[in-house]
Structure 1
Amino acid sequence: MAEKKRRWISLQWLLLLFVLLRCAFSSGSFSLSSDLAGLLAFKSLCDTSGELLSWNSSAPAPCSSWLGVSCSQGRVTRLVLESLSLSGAAIAPLSNLTELRVLSLKSNHLSGSIPDLSSLSALKLLFLSDNSLSGPIPSSLTTLSRLYRLDLSSNLLYGPIPLSFNRLPHLLTLRLDSNRLTGSISGLALPNLQDLNLSSNALTGAVPPSLASFPPAAFAGNPGLCGAPLQSSCLSTGSASIVPPDTTTVSSSPGSKPEGTDEPRRRSGISRAAVIAIVAGDFAALVIVSTILFLYFWRKIPSKSPSHLHEGEKIVYSSSPYGNFERGRMVFFEETSKRFELEDLLRSSAEMLGKGGYGTAYKAVLDDGSVVAVKRLRETPSAFGKREFEQHIQALARIRHPNLVSLKAYYYARDEKLLVYEFMPGGSVYSLLHGNRGPGRTPVGWDVRVRVALAAARGLAYIHTASRSPRLAHGNVKATNILLDKAGTPRLSDFGLALLGPSSAARCCGYRAPEAPSDARRPWASQRGDVYAFGVVLLELLTGRAASEVSDLPRWVQSVVREEWTAEVFDLELMRCKGIEEQMVAMLQLALGCTATSPDQRPKITHVVRMIEDIHSGGAGDTSVSPSHESFDSVSDSPSVSEDAPPGA
């Protein structure tokens, strides 16, 4: 009896000890011990070549001395072990690292199936590419609601792509290429996805509209896929498989024709020759009628009248030097400028560059081969007569700076108002950042983005300080109005036009300052509003997101930072740049300061210039923000590419 009592007491002590150990491992410093135990189990299973010799249980500071391991607040948060010849089915022990945010095991020899990783609820970046993992993609991955980047490419995975990926609201990267995946992708809908590659699998069916904006290379190597952006059309529902031959063709083939059906079949349809003859006749009649009408109306129109010019081909439509219209004249601001008249613009070859809130921009090639940019203004406010218009334009023409697009000339008439600028052949910063965001795109490096920001800030600062009375504002700062000249130098365009149109022109696409008046019909611009819009441009440079993609880009960035995910706001293309974390955070803090809700809390643009100059020189400015107690998750998930070829910015 005494022996049983002693055993019972011993059992109670063991249970108590188990509970105490469990509590200890779930809090405080013992949590790190639990993480390290999982790492040691992983090492024992996969490190046959001795690459992880630094993983020693007696190491005094494993978070700083263990290869590839990073910690935060007493837990392992980052594990990066790439190209170390790790092998075996060894991933399962890592599921104990419940605070892990970055896991990269790419370019090893790991095998077996992907285990249940649903316990890694904090995981944001998961890279398992270039291994020998097999089996289906586990649905447990789709429970990782914080996941931003997922790369399982170049493995031996098979089966369908789980449609539960649609439940991942933050997913920006999905790379599943070079596997053995099958099934349809028509149900995939990932609206926030920026980087997709499903190539070299055995997928079938139609590419869904939600993924059709990605380039064909993202779907190449799947013979069963069809629809945009692929060249193969979907001939049958949900599949690009071969359509069965037409039954009429089969039944009319020799040896398969039923007896007694010759005559009825001939009478039941029109022969191919008859169809061709009818179509040819209709086309010939259409050409003849069109030619007669063209010749008839051409004779009734004066040869130099612009009214015969087709929309989209020429610049000027309403004005004419003939009839009852007021005749204007071209006014040039530089003695060395090549002189031309309105008639030269009428004869020029013009290409529409885009429509904005203040008018339509054209590229005009004159008879002598010179190229200019012409902005045809919309209707100006009634308060702006000819005298006011000319005084304002002349004031704008006096503003000259290497980072501003110079105004060369203007044309004023009652029915036509044109501004002639230098032509910028390098396109806009908007196209540089957001054009072709898919496979095959040349990444825009950090140095290029900083130089764009600095050039735009210097140009804006010159506008703000060039005129004391009245104080001038740009009024329409946005990525499409930062252009690149033939040398690749960024230059601000469209400055000072805010007074010539409604404030709604500068209030679209996410650049509108909160204090802008609710009455969009009257002109409005302010220097504080310019700083806000410039801050949005900085956020575009940092995040890679267009301001129009998010309803309020500054507030979205703030929400991510508040969730302690500061590193996750940055563009995927910047993750491959090393040693710039401090500069990126400093620029982010500056951008958030520029987009403060209260105008009084925003810095002056001259201060912004000094900050960016400091960042560009390798510093971090005179203000910084902590990355929310989290080291940067700067794992490169980009494929190997050549060195950046910046567009000369």
Structure 2
Amino acid sequence: MLHMLQTCKHVLSDDSDITKLITFKSSLNNTEALANWDPNVAPCNMDKENWTGIICGKDGSVFGLRLENMGLTGTIDMDILSKLSGLRTISFANNSFAGLIPDVSKISLLRSVYLSNNNFSGAIRDDMFSGMSGMRRVEVQNNKFSGRVPASLTGLSILVDLQMQDNEFEGKIPNFEQKDLKVNFANNRLSGRVPSGLRNQDPNSFAGNNVCGPPVTTKCKSSNNKHTRKTLIIAIIGVLAILFIILLIFRKRKTPKNAYKNHQTMKLDRNNPYKTSSKELKKENDEENDAKRVEKSGNIEFVRSDIEVFELQDLLRASAEVLGGGSFGSTYKAVLLGGQAAVVVKRFREMNNVRKEEFYVHMTRLGRFSHPNLLPLVAFHYKKDEKLLITDFAENGSLASHLHVNRKPNEPGLDWPTRLKIIKGVTQGLAYLYNELPHLSLPHGHLKSSNVLLDNAFNPLLADYALSPVVSKRHAQECMVAYKSPEYTYHNRTTNKTDVWCLGILILEILTGKFPANYLKQGKGGSSDLETWVNSVVREEWTGEVFDKDMKGTKNSEGEMLKLLKIGMCCCEWDVDRRWDMTVAVRRIEELMERGGDDEYSSCTSDGDAYSSKGMTDDDFSFSKSVVDPKP
């Protein structure tokens, strides 16, 4: 096979930039990932990087640093970085830096700062972002920052993304008035009214705080002292007037004290011939209150208007069929009395820590989703020790059952056109979740073949999506597929490319017919048996053995199948920087056809736009070395 090699002509950057970056590296610890920072080689070859973690401008200057998922510690020397005149973006996300936030104000022309998932702590100076008019993205989530949200952030006129969740910020939220801004302040110690400029934000962005007012459902108490005093005075006058009237009436009747008591007793006896004792009255009241609580807890909250409403008791009386017991709980098919369409009820017992308001807000949001490749939520039910999610019933079961369950004799397996149709639909549904849930690093979080359901026409429907915010963290880490990813296995982090890794494994499973057995392990996933096997087959022999023998309808389709295999490998690349992002995966998969003329395809790069060659070699089909020999 023909393999094209590129010969790189080094176009040296400014020698002083090399010196500055080498000096900067010396302030860091655990820099094994930066081993190719060679003072004798330029960081950039025009817009192509020669050094790991460097983003190059078109003129060969150092445009950005993307030092993510490297286990780095030490000091981020902003004094040195401020001398890199072309630097516009910095990312130190998913490392182990600690201490105060780096003084990013020293680089006034920065456009984006990514410091999430570290151990930074302390307060952020209120004027930290003053004068940084080009700043568009600030991500500091999942650290230990405290103090108030810096007011200088409100002055960044073109800011579009602010992620500050999972810290210890306190006090009131400043008023942000940027038109296209998306924020996330969840899980801090913030209080007070949500400012008017943020009323259009996702309510989940304020969960885990003590805030009130739109868009959250908690109403704010009046803080108008004058109004409160006036109301109190009116109430006192009213009470005194009522007491005065009662006193006049009492004097007018001139009824003896004992006679009044006897009259009340007789009245009670006539109205209550059974002469209920105070103990029995208390029991009746308790039973009535219990009944009210049961009635209230028995409510089913519907999120769709195109289905006939039913009660929890209707579900309990319905004929039920156990469909399975997944990682979250048991699943039942229920056919309601009266011939309504069947629904699926899934019981969750691993959401005990989620608050009622938080659960309602999140599920109501999911209920508004509308996409042909998402299994729509019909209704939900909240109890402290158990939650129910009610969805439509998919006639053709799960993709896993078609790939792995023994079929009847002469029953065909899924053919290539159907498998391609399924993976295209899965990708479209996943892309929709990415678009609707930009504040979540795991828009799906549990993408696997048993959570891909099939309708009558074998269109895929994603199930169990976007549950990571409401599932207990311990259970999520033990059972959810996203936590089997290499970035979590070795660095205890997930990123917005983790769901892409899950998509890559699913693609390999669809093409090979082999189940990723490491999904069955509780806890971290370790090296994925499926991707390692695929890599070894294509590296050592490259034969048709990699494809599922039950996959029919493959005539003149080998080239397209090879392309999809390569897409899967690029999606589950261990190196997060080299792994494709969601937009690239969507574009590449949409380009696939049932039949193709050749097997031309490009190699894996971060943007999916690399050289093309007819015919592929072992190098074209290899993961980064960490797949075969993973190192934390």
Give the TM bin, normalised by the shorter chain.
0.3 to 0.5
User: Which structure has the larger Rg over C-alpha atoms?
Assistant: 1
| TM-score, with length taken from structure 2 | 0.45
TM-score when scaled to structure 1? 0.44
